[in-house]
Amino acid sequence: MKHLNLGTYINILSIFVGIISIILTIRTNPVWEVIIIALMIGLIIGLIFHKFLHWFTNQPWFIAWLSWLSINQPIIESLGRENEIYQIANRIRTGESSAIIGLFREEKVSILKTFQDKTQQQNFYGERAGELVFSYLDVAGDLPKRCTPSQFWKKALSPLKKKISHNPDWNNLRNKYKESEENQFKNESLRELIDEIGEVNKQLVLIIDRFDGILNFPQLKQTTFLAGFRTLAYRSNPLILIVTAKISLTEFRRKTEHLSPDGSAFLNFIEGFGEYILGATLTETQVDTLIQEHFSFNEKNDCQFIKEYANHHPYFLQLAANCLQHAYQNKQKDPLQTAKEEFFRMLEERLTAILKFWPDNICKAFISVAKNYDLSIFFEGELEELRKLDIIKKKDNQWQVSCPICLEWIKSKTEPELKKLCQKQNK
């Protein structure tokens, strides 16, 4: 555990005080004597504090607490998702929208940060990067509890407003924005604003994180808002959407089909080629390459642990590697065992949150597969959703949980514990 290196400063101070003391031995002065005494007292207090800090920061309980604090928020990068990023970047280039679907938010956020990074924008689009205006909105974190469509669009368009306010050549666009704002961002004024963005050869890339959270806002879960949203993105090349969600677009369609008078899905312009499911997509070779290129593990058992717990999933690979790295950094007696325990603790946190998020029937469908209950006839739609999310798969005409580590966690829970987890969603 590294601590503050105060030794050098204390030595310099000691030398300084010593020199002054020698000088003052020649010229006795009561005022200087007081100053010297004060400096010496300060020096002693500094030495005591330095020793205490060194002792405190090397206590096992402090190291363990700091380890937990740092690993509880693991640094998840977009490793292993280069293919998805490349394809989405190409869709932005051609003016097409995309949806990133996955259970683990850290992984989705890491991908979104790639597109927001100025250097990456330059790499992807070269001279065209200046034509793109990127705007990020987290539905669950950035919007007020009783958000209205007007508040949503004001927040979503704030980067555009800031950009046009600093450009004297965009008077028409500035006027269109002002008109749209005055009209409470009604659909017609929004269409005119988006069209004007195209007139100045710009494109608005609207990144909406946790888009499925819109279903929790009564004033946004309305036909007028969702249909207007679809119309803006579908008809207009200047507006490009990148949305993330925990549920597939098929499930989003099912949850909102009663709001669509003509039966059309609100995100039908993304469904199909524009939907990217963040599943276990890595091959054995790709897993080996990622471990060699991004992590410094040489022991065979270490690499085997990461490969086994990753189960071809980029998110689990990084989670396992981070756990093992922290175990080594904190000089644990048995780093491998510590990493396994930490991995299971973090996995439990995430799976518990997922079960709480899922509707009751999806929870039951997942547990029925994990426990080998033959209830598929009752949960056909739910099982299909779980399959799309790459959580379960069909092998030899039998549903199975895709991730062995997740299956192990489910099987470690009693029936009452699992039932309680599923019921919490409905409270």
What is the rounded distance in angstroms from the CA atom of residue 302 to the CA atom of residue 412?
24
Among positive and negative, which fits the CA dihedral 20, 25, 29, 30? positive
Q: Which residues pair with 392 in a beta bridge?
A: 401
| pLDDT at residue number 14 | 60
Name, in order, each residue with C-beta under 8 angstroms of 121's C-beta and a sequence gap of 6 or more. Answer: 115, 129, 132, 134
pLDDT in 10s for each residue of the chain, 427 residues: 434 444 555 555 565 666 666 555 545 556 666 666 667 776 777 667 766 766 665 554 444 444 444 334 444 567 889 999 999 999 999 999 999 999 999 999 999 999 999 999 999 999 899 899 999 999 999 999 899 999 999 999 999 999 888 787 888 999 999 999 999 999 999 999 999 999 989 999 999 999 999 999 999 999 999 998 888 887 667 999 999 999 999 999 999 999 987 778 889 889 888 999 999 889 999 999 998 888 888 788 999 999 999 999 999 999 999 999 999 988 889 999 999 999 999 999 999 988 888 888 898 899 889 988 877 778 888 999 999 999 999 888 889 999 898 999 988 888 888 888 777 544 4
CA angle 385, 387, 391 (to 5 degrees): 105
327: helix, coil or strand? Answer: helix
pLDDT for the residue 104: 92
Cα dist from 323 to 302, 305, 318, 346, 356, whole Å: 11, 11, 8, 9, 25
Helices (H), 183-313: 187-199, 223-235, 249-256, 284-294, 300-310
Q: Give the Cα separation of 128 and 201 in Å (integer).
A: 10
Binning the chain into helix, strand and coil, the percentages to the nearest 5 are: 65, 10, 25
> What's the number of CA atoms in the CB half-sphere (13 Å) around residue 323?
25
Task: Count how many residues are written for the chain.
Answer: 427
- pLDDT for the residue numbered 5: 47
Q: Which two tokens mark 335?
A: 């780093």
pLDDT at residue number 68: 40
pLDDT for the residue numbered 32 = 61
Our measurement of the distance from residue 392's CA atom to the centroid of its chain's CA atoms, rounded to an integer in Å, reads: 23
Q: Which of helix, strand or coil describes residue 50?
A: helix
Residue with tokens 């065209």: 128
Helices (H), 358-403: 360-370, 380-388
Q: Tell me what pLDDT residue 87 has.
A: 94
What tokens appear for 295 in the block? 């992590």
Distance, in Å, from the CA atom of 276 to the CA atom of 244, rounded to the nearest integer, reads 9
Task: Measure Cα distances from 281 to 196, 347, 381, 390 in Å.
Answer: 41, 19, 23, 9
- Residue 425 gets which letter from DSSP? T
- Using DSSP's 3-state secondary structure scheme, residue 99 falls into strand
What DSSP string describes 147-195? --HHHHHHHHTHHHHHHHHT-TT-HHHHHHHHHHHHTTT-HHHHHHHHH
Instruction: For 18, list phi and psi in degrees, rounded to 5.
Output: -60, -45
φ, ψ of residue 106 in degrees (nearest 5): -55, -40
